[in-house]
Chains A and B, each alone.
Chain A
Amino acid sequence: DTGVSQDPRHKITKRGQNVTFRCDPISEHNRLYWYRQTLGQGPEFLTYFQNEAQLEKSRLLSDRFSAERPKGSFSTLEIQRTEQGDSAMYLCASSLSQGGNYGYTFGSGTRLTVV
């Protein structure tokens, strides 16, 4: 297993366009998280899944954002009608919610630039 994979690494889009990011977690991990990180800040929680169920969404996640994890494996994060304020690094992480090991493994992120 090569860890958490995110695709694409970079995305430049025009304001108003829709974008979709993909995350492939570590295969045996049942939890998957999406965070957003802007320059000079720590990661901010957006949403998380346990298997295919989306258990929590942050107030940061406006109606233009939607996330899915259809079969409890990979996940997608879609942003509709992008705005310049959406420019950030979008990080995905996964973890195993049992066995006493709570640490997240993060991917390298997708850097979104809205022009």
Chain B
Amino acid sequence: GENVEQHPSTLSVQEGDSAVIKCTYSDSASNYFPWYKQELGKGPQLIIDIRSNVGEKKDQRIAVTLNKTAKHFSLHITETQPEDSAVYFCAASRMNRDDKIIFGKGTRLHILP
């Protein structure tokens, strides 16, 4: 089955700097890669996703990149703000094949004042 590895497990960046979280996946048939943000006491919230037919996607201060050949994908947050502090999860799935989403172990992002 699919295995998603995520790093780093903890990341601290100065407010206003950029943050990058990297993930790898094992199943070459995976074709959908969502990113979730989880705040304390809440369930994960989808913040951006990318499909295998696209190499990059951007939404305001967040962007995701996908390298299918290397089975790598990354989340980039620019101009970080205090409200970006949270746990971020990458995930992978074989959508269109009735498959579930498999999550990485998460990255705790701290935005330092």
Contact = CB atoms under 8 A, between A and B. Distances in A.
B74 interface: no
Band of interface residues on B? 20 to 34
Interface in A12-58: 33, 40-45, 48, 50, 55-56
B106 A104 contact: no
Nearest to A93: B43
Contacts of B106: 40-42
17 contacts: A4-B43, A42-B6, A42-B104, A42-B106, A45-B101, A45-B102, A56-B100, A102-B32, A102-B34, A102-B49, A103-B34, A105-B46, A106-B36, A106-B45, A108-B41, A108-B42, A108-B43
A104 B101 contact: yes
A47 to B, nearest CB: 9
Given A40-B106, A102-B95, A107 B101 contact: no
4 tightest Cβ-Cβ pairs between the two chains A and B: A106-B43, A42-B103, A103-B46, A102-B95
B105 to A, nearest CB: 5
B80 interface: no
Contacts of A91: 43-44
B100 A45 contact: yes
B94 to A, nearest CB: 10
Contacts of A48: 100
